[in-house]
Amino acid sequence: MALTSNTWYLLIVAPLANPPWVAPSRELPGEVIDAIIASTSLYCFCKSDNGTEARLITASGAEFYAPSTALSVAATPTMNTTTLDSGEKWYSIRGATTEWHFYSTTQGMMALTNSITLGAFIS
Q: What is the tens place of the pLDDT at every residue in 8-47?
A: 999 999 988 777 776 656 788 999 999 999 999 999 999 9
Per-residue pLDDT at 123: 42
Whole-number Å distance between alpha carbons of 82 and 70: 30
| Bigger pLDDT: 99 vs 110 | 110
3-state secondary structure the chain: CCCCCCEEEEEEECCCCCHHHCCCCCCCCHHHHHHHHHCCCEEEEEEEECCCEEEEEECCCCEEEEEHHHEEEEECCCCEEEECCCCCEEEEEECCCCCEEEEECCCEEEEECCHHHHHHHHC
Numbered ranges of CATH 2.30.30 in the chain: 7-75
CATH number for region 7-75: 2.30.30
> What's the pTM?
0.86
Share of the chain above pLDDT 70, in %: 85
